Amino acid sequence: MIENKLKRLLKSGGTAVGTMVCDTRTPGIAQALAVVGFDFFILDTEHGSYSLETISDMMVMARLAGITPIVRVPDHEYPFIARTMDAGALGIMIPRIHTRAQVEQVISYVKYPPVGRRGMNNARTNTDYRTVKTAEYADRANEETMIIAQIETKDAVEDIDAIVNLPGVDATLMGPTDLSMSLGVRDPLHPLVDEYTQRTLDAATRAGKAAGTHVPDLARLKSWRDKGMRLLLYNYDFGLIMSGGAAAVKELKPR
């Protein structure tokens, strides 16, 4: 099994930069993101309309290109998680967390026995079609696969120390928009969202885990980086295209 470069980078204290892929369906997006220097991308299957076949194609290209592919699964159920891992994802991001118990269940679905209870599949995308010994592969997969807890509810923040200290949780990533809805302020820029984000960052730091957030504003993302966030998710695929295109049109059209 290939090395999870994102997991290694964060464990060593480094900072990782990625983006969300929400609408692009060509596997070439993985190679393009790798070429420009992104460390990882998160394929959004919670809100994106991706089939399992497309997920698998994206994972294959990402693994070949050397960029770490993470998938945001649509739900916490076993089939969504296990099939995504078998398709070649090097980790998952768990949305809509409320409790430590939910995260414990997901960890058991991601990891092979004796750590978890994921069903064994050792001859497809997740092994790069290489012949592997079952026990060696299970141990290596348990070490290399990554779990990011997406913190986007008031309940999750209020239980954050219990969540981030779980063995198997590698990082947290804030969902400011849904968090603002959960807090009743319905504005991701509201000071209360920043307060809860800081609480999550502080808890992750105490636990020795990386924390991050997902925003389309570079200045805001840099501000959180300067406060200690190391998992930086900037914008999304069409957002990058549209912002780049808008800047070009503004420069090229006659004034």
What is the C-alpha R_g of the chain?
18
Task: Give me the count of residues in the chain.
Answer: 255
Q: Distance between CA 62 and CA 43 in Å, rounded?
A: 11
- Give percent of the chain above pLDDT 70: 100
166 alpha-carbon distance from chain centroid: 17
Contact at 8 Å (CB) between 103 and 141?
Answer: no
State the pLDDT confidence band at 123, using cuts at 50, 70 and 90. confident
Closest to 241 measured CA to CA, from 75, 23, 94: 23
Range of the domain at 231: 5-252
Total tally of structural domains belonging to the chain = 1
**Per-residue model confidence as pLDDT tens digits over 58-113:** 999 999 999 999 999 999 999 999 999 999 999 999 999 999 999 999 999 999 99
* Averaged pLDDT score across all residues of the chain: 96
Q: Which residue has the higher pLDDT, 122 or 33?
A: 33
Question: Is the confidence at residue 227, as pLDDT, over 90?
Answer: yes
Q: Distance between CA 138 and CA 4 in Å, rounded?
A: 15
State the pLDDT confidence band at 255, using cuts at 50, 70 and 90. confident
State the pLDDT confidence band at 253, using cuts at 50, 70 and 90. very high
DSSP for 203-251, written as a single string? HHHHHT-EEEEEES-HHHHHHHHHTT--EEEEEEHHHHHHHHHHHHHHH
Average pLDDT for residues 120-144, to the nearest whole number? 90
Q: How would you classify the pairing of strands 40-44 and 210-215?
A: unpaired
- At 122 the pLDDT is 81
CATH number (domain holding residue 137): 3.20.20.60
Q: Distance between CA 57 and CA 25 in Å, rounded?
A: 9
